[in-house]
A and B are shown apart, each in its own frame.
Chain A
Amino acid sequence: MKSQLLNKPSFNQSLRNSLTMAYRGVLKIRRTPEQLFDVTLQPIIFTLMFTYIFGGAISGNVQNYLPVIIPGILVQTVITTSIVTGVQLREDMDKGVFDRFKSLPIARIAPLAGALLADTIRYTIATVLTFTMGYIMGYRPEGGLGYVVLAGLLVIVCAWAISWIFAFFGVIARTASSVQGISMLVLFPLTFLSNAFVPAETLPNFLQWFVKINPISHLVTAVRELTNSGAIGWDLSASLIGAAIVVIIFAPLTVRAYMRRT
């Protein structure tokens, strides 16, 4: 064990601690599989609903709408799922075990990073299910399987980055339900005022302006390009840069708020 007293956790230790905390998250999911209901049901129901409701109106028929809606619904579902990260973090932090984590000589970021890392399992489930539903309904992405996987990974990475925002809400909020409330308020306009469900060109000018700068639109476009034509474009870079910026801003903010909180 420790032979000398260290003043600060090393980077290696931080990484190890985070992975252990992620392992804890995985164990928790295994113990309470019912918390996966939302990520299993939501992709199935939303994909079915939106496709059949909007398909005829927007693209003439369901078949033509699939390449538009599947990437859109994928982004919407997975990003929405990341709200749960913040909510669960809040619930978790109210439990006594977080006192112990705080009193242990571990990296301060580990309990947060670990929880967020474990939640990528949720995003993966949502991603796989959305694509599967699409496939069952007749969606055959022309980019091929490799690009579909790449698109899935992109969405998971971005959702993980965005989950830091909700983790921040989770740390500063008083109750789990208020986290849910604030997060929905932020996310609802962001996902719907994007090109996820309808082409931006059909919107009034002032909305088009917003839709075009909305980072969600860039992510949706990047996923569409990858799955539908195997193209890697500017939107992909933009999404990754955006994700990086979110993490750079919110990870330290969240950790600091977490350390302040009593």
Chain B
Amino acid sequence: MGNVNRMKNSLANSEWAIEARGLIKHFGDNRAVDGVDLNVRAGTIYGVLGPNGAGKTTTIRMLATLLRADAGSARIFGYDIVKDPHIVRQLIGVTGQYASVDESLSATENLIIFSRLLGLGRTEARNKAAELLEEFGLSEAAKRPLKNFSGGMRRRLDLAASLIAQPPLIFLDEPTTGLDPRTRNQMWDTIRRLVDTGSTVLLTTQYLQEVDELADRLAVIDHGRVVAEGTVDELKASVGTSSLHLNIQNPQEIIVAREIIEQILKVKTTVTQDIGKITAPMSNVDAVTDLLIALRQKGIQLDEFSVQKPTLDEVFLTITGENVPQDLKGSVQVEGERV
């Protein structure tokens, strides 16, 4: 283990964990990845945000030596992914979108086999498996076949398997897609811990909130291209603040209600006519208290009231000037918080 830590430290000194230049991958006529550049600083969490089919997974698969790029080049801690794939594989852990573990075996057996493949001895492998299962809260299910595992358990096991060799760079492809909020929070904690121990993490996601929570920097990918890159704050600043949505019970009062809102929040409002929803940009949360009091004083009954963070839709609208393509829309989660 000491050696691994030393290796991690020496690699941490190399500034960049990932340097990718002009990665291109075609599938037939479809340019899945169309000239992606990425620079990921060692010891950070880097988010790659985009809808389904944007080219996130393909990019990860190329960087992880699972897929050969048609053009472009990439280095992992300075090692070329095409010239030194075997070295690169010693530096990375990959957790796929679909759990890459063996369905027909138990959790322990899975981890033991991966440990053995990574060069651990019989006892070492057994201990490592037990240790990881404990850490990921899977000890009780250790002997059960994976067929009976829930999605969250599978993901955790998958991540555990990626950490056996304590690789300095970990790829996480949509680590929380399909997880319930509690499991998702656990996963986030685990990812944060990883970085605390000096690892670099590249994660892809469809959720703006996730990069917000975790990532130091991010790239937004669309149609196989990086359409925006920067810190999370930079991106959010470009997209704008949260917005206020409210429905009122009596449609006749819409005009009055709009006046009150515009007066108190000092912004322009819009109305979606058919459903009678009023939308207003919101910068000062505190003003909402005044607004609610004012509405009550006028006797306006509310039907629904919510504050929503910018959705991936809005991010795309702002950055690319076009909506998320309709066929992908079903996959995009709207992040709303009811108040």
Contact = CB atoms under 8 A, between A and B. Distances in A.
Contacts, number: 100
Interface residues of A, number: 34
Nearest to B154: A96
Interface string B99-122: 111111100010001101111100
Nearest to B93: A103
A27 interface: yes
A6 B101 contact: no
A237 to B, nearest CB: 37
Interface residues of B, number: 40
Contact of B1 (A1, A23, A27): A1
Q: Which of B68, B89, B92 has the most CB of A within 10 A?
A: B89
B105 A8 contact: no
Contacts of A202: none
Interface in B116-155: 116-120, 145
A96 B98 contact: yes
Contact of B66 (A6, A20, A105, A262): A262
Interface string B154-176: 00000001000100000000000
B149 to A, nearest CB: 13
Contacts of B109: 27
A17 B117 contact: yes
A16 B119 CA distance: 8
A7 B67 contact: no
Contacts of A3: 3, 7
A212 interface: no
Given A1-B4, A2-B3, A7-B84, A105 B101 contact: no
B104 A13 contact: no
Interface string A172-192: 000000000000000000000
A13 B119 contact: yes
A28 interface: yes
B282 to A, nearest CB: 43
Q: Which of A21, A95, A97, A106 has the most CB of B within 10 A?
A: A97
A7 B113 contact: no
Contacts of A2: 3-4, 7, 90, 119, 165
A33 B68 CA distance: 37
A97 to B, nearest CB: 5
A1 B3 contact: yes
A99 B3 contact: no
A6 B87 contact: yes
A31 B104 contact: yes
Contact of B114 (A8, A13, A100, A260): A100
Contacts of B118: 1, 104-106
A98 to B, nearest CB: 8
B64 interface: yes
B94 interface: yes
A105 B86 contact: yes
Contacts of A17: 117
B165 A1 contact: yes
Interface in B1-44: 1, 3-4, 7
A140 interface: no
B66 A97 contact: no
B1 A100 contact: no
Contact of B104 (A32, A101, A110): A32
Contact of A31 (B61, B68, B99, B145): B145
A96 B99 contact: yes
A99 B161 CA distance: 12
Contacts of B73: none
A9 interface: yes
A90 B90 CA distance: 26
A104 B65 contact: no
B145 A100 contact: no
Interface string A82-119: 00000000000001111111111110001000000000
B96 A31 contact: no
A108 to B, nearest CB: 9
A95 B103 contact: yes
A19 to B, nearest CB: 9
13 contacts: A2-B90, A5-B91, A16-B119, A21-B117, A23-B113, A28-B102, A31-B145, A97-B103, A99-B94, A100-B100, A103-B94, A104-B118, A110-B117
Interface of B: 1, 3-4, 7, 61, 64-68, 79, 84, 86-87, 89-94, 96, 98-105, 109, 113-114, 116-120, 145, 161, 165
